[in-house]
Structures are given as structure tokens and as C-alpha cells.
Amino acid sequence: MITYTMGPSIIIIISNILIVYKLYMSTKMSGVQGGTTEAQKSIYKIIPMLLLVSTMFVICALPMSVVFFSKCVKLFPRCFFNMSIYL
């Protein structure tokens, strides 16, 4: 489950945060003050797209993770049901 859903999701989210940060810093470094510039408008268009890509990846990968998890529970029921003792 970590290999197929959680790992890539974390990588995508961190990458998206870095992209937005770099774009934001590049518009700040350009030295344009006041008003909404074209660069700022493009950032505001990119942010929803990045969120959509991240959300769609999680939605598309979720069924596979649920199936994988259910197969693990069927194969090793004792391990999963005894985990509640440790929580």
C-alpha cells in the first residue's frame, strides 16, 4: 500500500508545494510591486491544477490500495486483528 499509494502521493504533494513556492518566489524576485501581474495570475491558475492532479491520483489509486489491504487482511488476519492490542 505504501509503494502504490502513500509514497507517490507524498512525493506528488511535496513536489507540488515546491513548484508553487518556486513560482511564488520567482514573481517576488522579479521586483514588480503592486497590482496583479500576469505571473501572479498564472500562479493562481496553476495551484488548482496541481491540487486537481494530486486529488485525481489519490482517487485513482485508492481502489487498488483497498483491494491490496483486503487481500493482506485475508492472508494474515491474525496480524491485523491483534494490532488493536498495540494501539
pLDDT at 76 over 60: yes
State the pTM of this model: 0.61
pLDDT of residue 87: 46
Handedness of CA 51, 56, 57, 58 (dihedral sign): positive
Question: pLDDT tens-digit profile of 10-65?
Answer: 898 899 889 888 877 877 776 655 556 776 777 778 888 988 988 898 888 888 87
